[in-house]
Structure 1
């Protein structure tokens, strides 16, 4: 049973783009050290900042020989000093997560990276063994934790008691306990809805020897699409910006299927406290407008660098974009449209 706790917010169908593009990475920038093939595309990256280094976890494909094509996750590191020069750099990467369980056998997609209990955690969309043959649970959030020098898959997450067609745009975050942010497509009373949900998860999810199914429960729906949008979804994990305030970037697909981005502030209980009154980013550069999926900016990674917010995003399902947002500017915009 989901609880709807959606405040009255004001968002307009217009864009004031405040993201400074600082660089773009293509598959040509990555050399794989543990796989003989060459990547065809890298996009939709998770991001962690560790000292003076950015660790990037990107969705990668080696070719487009079937639909859906099978994705894996590649890890590579970018020195912070490289940020303004990444298109001219080349980085060594390695495959760290590949399709190899019943929960992701047709592909692993769109990883988000967070720190949970001091450990690195990735949550990605796994295309399950049911993807081609059944109507429900075709794709699910799958989590992996980094331990003893390697990534260990812990299981796939299902919304308790719901008929879920698929579930994506997910990550784990510590906010008043451990929460799963997920965006299930739920079938109910003859209709199908895409919902942004924040759920509770069992405390023992990391205590497992094999991947298993894990139920999420007590889900809250804190925000919904506007009438001018086809759907919205979680983008970046939460970035703490105050004593009890977190910044998140979400994506939205409009009625023409153009993907844009807006921002919200949220407290530790999952309540929206502010929202940008308009989109803060939309496809602008040629690599955002043209690719395997045209007209897409898809923020998935976030970090704080002094007085700037760094975002990593997928561009047209083909490239990784890096952008910067002035911290004072985005907070001022959010302050102008507070809910509480």
Structure 2
């Protein structure tokens, strides 16, 4: 078992209007000794924007904005910006988030060259109705059945109403091009899908996504496997490049008599072809067991969304009970050794 040190809460909600309902699920990037957090800020009434704070080192809050950093501007995000992630690819910062308009929850992108000014690019995941999804995946019955079961929000999965789409969340870019291609993870429950072979974001056309869904089984990189992730899994932190492969810290969900339990999980993917799983932990990396994780807006939640690496110590930032931001630390070399031992035992 990996030694996990829970450092506790580093950020809580305030009385400010934009974050008086909760703070959670931060995008994280380290620059020098500073760690930048772009976090989901929730106002009362469940309207989300993105807040910002800077840490001095891995845990000490140095600066925190008193207004939202990014907020709703367009119809596709009219009810909020949720659960951001952040990577730097070459000279550009890619900030992804879930855009929610009251009906659809879909992955959107904003770009920046300086971490200050971000230009929104809109939704980049497929905008596809449930009926169209059924049609395109008719030859992949297993994938179709799994996705329909887990994506029945408000029982509208059968609807062919214009503008009602399959939910597509947890949009996360790899922090560099792979084989000269942009690559990102996204999640249609209960699996994590992966897109490779995209030279330019302009390729993500309606026709591209039609072809993608016709062959969706080829794009599934992780599916639920163990008890702690038996209900569904989803992307967590941006992939971390190591000598052994891409280290993925993701979330796994288990249904229990106390409701869903969200845990942090870990896997290792092949560097050249991240569709190939090298190994994954057969147990949760860490799960809710502290008061701040067990009780909150949503009970029993550890939802990892960002990391920072200081020497051998990997700090994992996560939403705790959908109300506050906490951090845990592990030895990255210990985790990689454990994953490679699992791989070698296959």
The interval holding the TM-score normalised by the smaller chain is 0.7 to 0.9
* Alignment correspondent of 1:139: 105
Say which SS state the counterpart of residue 336 (structure 1) adopts.
helix
Change in Cα spacing, 1:166 to 1:330, as seen in structure 2 (3 Å) is same
* Alignment correspondent of 1:331: 336
- Contact 2:109–2:121 (Cα < 8 Å) also in 1: yes
- Out of 15, 27, 31, the residue aligned to residue 50 of structure 1 is 31
Take 2:197 and 2:106, find their aligned partners in 1: how far apart are those partners? Answer: 15
* Higher normalized contact order (CA 8 Å, seq sep 6+, divided by chain length): 1
How many angstroms does 1:147 deviate by? 3.9
How many angstroms does 1:99 deviate by? 1.7
Matches within 5 A, 1:1-340: 16=1, 18-28=3-13, 39-63=20-44, 65=45, 69-80=46-57, 83=59, 91-128=64-101, 131-132=102-103, 138-147=104-113, 149-159=116-126, 163=133, 165-173=166-174, 174-176=176-178, 177-185=181-189, 194-200=190-196, 202-205=198-201, 217=212, 220-226=219-225, 228=227, 229-242=230-243, 245-256=245-256, 257-268=260-271, 269-270=273-274, 271-338=276-343
Take 1:240 and 1:303, find their aligned partners in 2: how far apart are those partners? Answer: 13
Change in Cα spacing, 1:71 to 1:77, as seen in structure 2 (3 Å) is same
Change in Cα spacing, 1:214 to 1:108, as seen in structure 2 (3 Å) is farther
Take 2:334 and 2:10, find their aligned partners in 1: how far apart are those partners? Answer: 26
Change in Cα spacing, 1:222 to 1:94, as seen in structure 2 (3 Å) is same
Say which SS state the counterpart of residue 287 (structure 1) adopts.
helix
Take 2:2 and 2:207, find their aligned partners in 1: how far apart are those partners? Answer: 39
Take 1:53 and 1:22, find their aligned partners in 2: how far apart are those partners? Answer: 18
TM-score calculated relative to the size of structure 2? 0.77
Gaps of 5+ in 2: 134-164
How many angstroms does 1:206 deviate by? 7.7
Gaps of 5+ in 1: 1-15, 133-137, 186-193
Higher helix share: 2
Deviating beyond 6 angstroms after TM superposition, the runs of 4 or more aligned structure 1 residues are: none
- Contact 1:73–1:98 (Cα < 8 Å) also in 2: yes
Say which SS state the counterpart of residue 333 (structure 1) adopts.
helix
* Alignment correspondent of 1:8: none
TM-score calculated relative to the size of structure 1? 0.78
Change in Cα spacing, 1:333 to 1:102, as seen in structure 2 (3 Å) is same
How many angstroms does 1:251 deviate by? 0.7
Take 1:140 and 1:59, find their aligned partners in 2: how far apart are those partners? Answer: 15
Say which SS state the counterpart of residue 47 (structure 2) adopts.
coil
Take 2:246 and 2:232, find their aligned partners in 1: how far apart are those partners? Answer: 22
Higher strand share: 1
Q: Kindly report the root-mean-square deviation, in angstroms, between the aligned alpha carbons of the 2 structures.
A: 2.7
